Amino acid sequence: MKRTSIKITSKKLDLQECYNFVEDDSCGGISAFIGTVRNDTQGKEVLQLDFSTYKPMAIKEMQKIADLALEKFPIHKIAIHHAEGMLQIGEIPVIITASSKHRKATFEACEFAIDTLKETVPIWKKEYFSDGEVWVNAHP
């Protein structure tokens, strides 16, 4: 049985698909984190976001996060799906779901996965404003 689902896609991410992957009769709880494109950054209006990836490595790093989450927390399954390409306000760059017999582990696994993804997975976003574009985090 596959306990992880890893995906990078230019299609719309699907919350129900991520839910269905982790759902299991042995589980009492599922947590989900859904990233959404926000319309502002530090008070400045964002028009859209462009996500680029080093795809083969990003897939590997996402897989590592999923495997580590399965080791660290008593979860049953975990899905980590990420979008690439141009996204509009309200669209979904990332979905993470995790299932477990007990709920605590599902929160911990989702939070660990999104925190780690933002640190290690080679994906970059460029913010588009009315007056230009900026690579996020490039000048921290």
Partner 1 sequence: MKIQTLFFGITSDLVETNDLEITISENSSINDFKVFLKKKYPKLENINSYAIAVNETYAEGNLILKEGDVVAIIPPVSGG
Instruction: Write the DSSP string, 75-110.
Output: -SEEEEEEE-EEEETT--SEEEEEEESSHHHHHHHH
Residues 74 and 78: their CA atoms lie apart, in Å, by 11
18 is a contact residue toward partner 1 (CB under 8 A): no
Which string of x and - marks every residue 90-129 that binds partner 1 (by CB under 8 A)? ---xx-------------------x--xxxxxxxxx----
88 is a contact residue toward partner 1 (CB under 8 A): no
Among 1, 16, 43, 132, binds its own copies (CB under 8 A): 16
Written as six digits, the tokens of 4 are 């992880």
121 is a contact residue toward its own copies (CB under 8 A): no
Residues 41 and 21: their CA atoms lie apart, in Å, by 33
Asked if 7 contacts 17 with a C-beta cutoff of 8 angstroms, the reply is no
Q: Which stretch binds its own copies (CB under 8 A): 51-59, 64-72, 101-109, 123-131?
A: 101-109
Which string of x and - marks every residue 44-83 that binds partner 1 (by CB under 8 A)? -------xxxx-xxx-x---------------------x-
